[in-house]
Amino acid sequence: MGYIGNQPAETPIVEILETDIKIGEDDQTKIDFETANEIHLYANNTEQVYVADNIFGPQSDSDVDLGTTGVRWKDAYVDSVTSTGAIAGTTIDATTDFTIGDTVITDGVITDTSGLQIASAVDLVANTLTSTGSLQVRTIDYSDGDLAMTIADGGGVTFAQSITLAADKDITMGASGRLVFGTDVPNSDHEATGVIVKITSSGTPARGVPVYIDGSGTVAPADADAVTSMPAIGINTTDLSGGAGEAEILISGIYRDDTYNFTPGADVYVSTDPASSTANSDVLGITTTAPSGSGDTVQKIGVVLTADTVFFNFNTAEVLLA
């Protein structure tokens, strides 16, 4: 309650009603009732906010902040929030369903009816993506240093590094499942494409030499004129020049050796000299001429594919010549 003038005995004024009244320090900072049924607030000679029927808002779009970075409002209690820009903050804690467009978050579960899209990178807090139902992923490109895995929509899975299964784990294929190798021959000297097993070597057979399993359960160079050094079970593909150790043995597939100079289509046999490299028909334990000496073992182990590649397919069938 206030008074006009300095006489306390005057009649108090309990209301001021006027269709166009201004209250303020000057015409630049004021409360203005310039529009019927509205209250307008000015500061710095600019109308900042106004009050109208069911509206408390800025006079110009995206012009007035509610608080500042240094002086913030404590809590906001609202029924809904509509935003045309970014919502910044560290935590969104919703005690009931939290909805963004067609996306609903309930108790940590995201449900989206139109397809949830995330435009940039997603950082997982616990580095784990878990699904209790069917997780459908169209494209994943995982990269960590020199490791990379790509899952492309309709393009299969591509791994840039070797795949290692835990112990006693299998790769199970469907009824029409296939294990398909590349259509090209190996790119470099002493490379192999095919099925490889690892067996300890008792010696240091050169790469490309057929090997047999000896009495100690290790592999050693096969020799067609020594029945105790047969049959060959595969081709050594490991450089063992540093000493005996675990060898990678190709039992079925294509092996390339740049010292080969074979005729495509020729049959390949275990030779009678596992260390020979004196002729193109007898290179590092293999030959395109079947052994013919008494006591020799004839074992066909492959077919020449190109001049420097051979398709090997080992079995233990052999013929001992009398």
8 A C-beta contact, residue 294 and residue 236: no
Burial class from Cβ neighbours inside 10 Å (0-12, 13-18, 19+) for residue 240 reads middle
Q: How many residues comprise the chain?
A: 322
| Residue whose token pair is 């010549």 | 321
Please state which of the ranges 203-212, 228-237, 245-254 shows the lowest mean pLDDT: 203-212
CA 221, 215, 228, 231 torsion-angle sign: negative
Top-confidence residue, 283 or 117: 117
Q: How confident is the model at residue 147 (pLDDT cuts 50, 70, 90)?
A: low
Examine the pLDDT at 253 and tell me if it is beyond 90: yes
Cα dist from 88 to 66, 81, 83, 91, 126, whole Å: 14, 13, 11, 9, 22
| Residue with tokens 């275990």, as numbered in its chain | 270
Q: For 4, which DSSP code? A: S
Quick one: tokens of 75?
A: 């809590």
Question: How confident is residue 305, by pLDDT bands cut at 50, 70 and 90?
Answer: very high
- pLDDT at residue 23, as a whole number: 87
Q: Is the pLDDT of residue 175 over 50?
A: yes
Give residue limits of the domains in the chain.
1-80, 192-320
Q: Lowest mean pLDDT: which of 37-51, 107-121, 254-268, 298-312?
A: 107-121
Backbone torsions φ then ψ of 72, nearest 5 degrees: -110, 155
Q: pLDDT, tens digit, for every residue of 11-61?
A: 777 777 777 788 888 989 988 888 888 898 999 999 899 999 999 889 888
Give residue 9's pLDDT.
64
Top-ranked range on mean pLDDT: pick from 47-56, 125-134, 175-184: 47-56
Torsion (CA) 130, 133, 136, 141 in degrees, nearest 10? 10
